[in-house]
Amino acid sequence: MKITNITLYPVEPRWMFLKIDTDEGISGWGEPVIEGKAATVAACVREMSDYIIGKDPRNIEDIWQVLYRGAFYRGGPVTTSAISGIEQALWDIKGKYYNLPVYEFLGGACRDNIRVYCWVGGDRPDDVGNAALEQKKLGFNAVKMNGTEELHYIDSFSKVEATCARVAAIRETCGKDFGIAVDFHGRVHKSMAKVLAKELEKYNLMFIEEPVLSENYEALEEISKHCSTPIALGERLFTRWDFKKIFEQGITDIIQPDLSHAGGILECRKISAMAEAYDVSVAPHCPLGPIALAACLQMDACTPNAWIQEQSLGIHYNQGSDLLDYLKDPKLFDYKDGAVGLLKGPGLGVEINEELVKEKAMKGHNWKNPVWRNADGTVAEW
């Protein structure tokens, strides 16, 4: 079996789908994208196609090594996101060829389902109490919210109080056992992150996410000493080499590799195995589309230290199209009692509505990150 063609589809709201065809009529789907730089990643995939056309798609490890090590300059979000989408599609092909779900190639299932959480509140969080209650009524038992708007290096304590008030509203409306995660989104600098983390402790959060940017290793170590709340990070780390230092310094409790950014399914399974050796759990990052989520669920199925899965149903970015719209069977992601069952179909376990994908790709998208500024005009972290 040989790879014959690749096709890229930019689709709303901010996703990029990849289809890889073979000479045996089996095709696989992947989701290579960096939010805000979809066209850049697409160009990288096209450059990499010279290395994969004519190759046997079942030789996934070898193709991955060629794409990663075959370049003198390696790593980073664009390159590894391109590799991730290609790798997902290769697994989809291999699973369809052997008529097995991907997790069967990676040790088999070690669970029946995986807990999931929803987003509430948007970029500038508001009325999260009622939004979380609506999710609870739909059967979900955990949500995540952005903690703050812009925060300067040193900022008003009233902004900290506003965050606490929003978290308190969720706790009051949804109860003490309802899961709440607060995403600092890298918007918070060390001085304010220490204050915010300490003030949020009393709400017994599932975790705080990216209390500072992941590259600020020394700040993460200091913040971890100021609170007992589990710290999660990793959506902006790429391959096991980026995660190595995080594990060695013992500065996180939960890692969040993104299977469309960090190198794909097998690479993130390797990262998860490293995490297990350091007694760290896994909550894959996935504010993306159905192919990315399917890839995550395949890894979750065979990863014992995976404990909760992000998914984008109803997320504030999904303007124009939502998570389930591109599936032939929208009921495939069987949300029940706050969890999702295993995808047992071959490959990634999802069937994509290709006609709709082609139709949406005619329009495409040009989604970009917003640019925020502090009151004094300086650029703020988004």
C-alpha 299/C-alpha 321 separation (Å) is 25
Q: What is the pLDDT of residues 233-264, one digit of tens each?
A: 999 999 999 999 999 988 899 999 999 999 99
Q: Which residue has the tokens 């959060």?
A: 205
Lowest-confidence pick of 32-41, 54-63, 80-89, 321-330 = 321-330
Q: Could you give the angle at the alpha carbon of 247 between the alpha carbons of 246 and 249, nearest 5°?
A: 70
Q: Mean per-residue pLDDT for 332-348?
A: 91
pLDDT digits (tens, 9 = 90+) for 102-120: 999 999 999 999 999 998 8
Q: How confident is the model at residue 71 (pLDDT cuts 50, 70, 90)?
A: confident
Asked whether residue 222 carries a pLDDT value surpassing 90, the answer given is no
Residue 274 reports pLDDT greater than 90: yes
Residue 317's pLDDT is what?
66
Q: Binning pLDDT at 50, 70 and 90, where does residue 320 land?
A: low
Is residue 350 scored above 70 in pLDDT?
yes
Rounded mean pLDDT of the chain? 93
Distance separating alpha carbons of residues 236 and 69, to the nearest angstrom: 20
Q: With 0.75 as the threshold, say if the pTM is over it.
A: yes
Q: Is the pLDDT of residue 128 over 90?
A: no
Q: Give the residue-averaged pLDDT of 313-330.
A: 77
pLDDT at 62 (0 to 100): 98
User: Residue 326 half-sphere exposure, CB side, CA atoms within 13 Å?
Assistant: 31
pLDDT beyond 70 at 318: no
The confidence band for 319, taking pLDDT boundaries of 50, 70 and 90, is low
- Band of residue 314 on the pLDDT scale cut at 50, 70, 90: low
Q: What is the model's pLDDT at position 127?
A: 76
Region 280-287: what's the mean pLDDT?
96
What's the rounded mean pLDDT across residues 281-290?
A: 96
| Active site residues per annotation | 185, 285
Separation between Cα atoms, residue 116 and residue 367, nearest integer Å: 26
Q: What is the mean pLDDT of residues 184-197?
A: 92
Res. 372: pLDDT tops 80: yes
**Is a pLDDT exceeding 90 seen at residue 344?**
yes
Least trusted range by pLDDT, from 32-36, 125-129, 151-155, 273-277: 125-129
